[in-house]
Amino acid sequence: MSGEVYLLWLLSLLKTLSAYGAQVSSEACRELGFSSNLLCSSCDLLGEFSLAKLQPDCHQCCQQEAQMEGRKLYAGAILEVYDGTKIERLVHLTFVSPLLLISSAFVRSEKPKMFKGLQIKYVRGSDPVLKLLDDNGNIAEELSILKWNTDSVEEFLSEKLDRI
């Protein structure tokens, strides 16, 4: 029940903001449960599931299909990778996730220096995560890259960030 009350509160907040012409932030859309890659055509389907009252908010958070086809560049990105002592890393990589070696190999190479706005952040006990930043430095998208290989990370960053 409290979840419904919270959702209704968020919906009323969004309606108030839209009444004043404010743009809905990606964070507010995420709190409502809308993905950053939500297509507006999906919002039109809500009525089929008796969720038509969500359509106005959905349309404020969605992207037109034509916008999705274009290449979207981000102002920057934060690549968070596991950090710890050599023994912790060995235990973590051996028993928890050998795939962490891939993101570590990318970080240790010269490749991160090729991308404008890419920051490397070492986080203890964390799986590798890529956070894409908007022009204001806010997180626009957050992706787990646990199972990505080094080439996939480089290719994705080539599509999302400017090269130096």
Residues 6+ apart with CB under 8 A from 45: none
pLDDT above 80 (res 136): yes
Q: What average pLDDT does the chain have?
A: 75
Q: What is the pLDDT of residue 138?
A: 93
Q: What is the DSSP string of 106-157?
A: HHHSSGGGGBTTEEEEEEET---EEEEE-TTS-EEEEEE-TT--HHHHHHHH
Higher per-residue confidence, 138 vs 108: 138
In the chain, how many H helices and how many E strands? 8, 4
Residue 132 pLDDT grade (very low, low, confident, very high; cuts 50, 70, 90)? very high
Beta-bridge partners for 130 = 79, 143
pLDDT above 70 (res 42): yes
Higher per-residue confidence, 44 vs 1: 44
What's the mean pLDDT in 27-39?
80
- Residue pLDDT, tens place only, 56-82: 988 888 877 654 445 578 999 999 887
**3-state SS of the chain: helix, strand, coil percent to 5?**
50, 20, 30
HSE value, Cβ hemisphere, 13 Å, CA-based, for 91 = 6
Domain ranges of the chain: 2-68, 76-160
CATH superfamily of the domain spanning 76-160: Sep15/SelM thioredoxin-like domain, active-site redox motif (3.40.30.50)
The pTM (predicted TM-score) of the whole model is: 0.52
Q: What is the pLDDT of residue 163?
A: 86
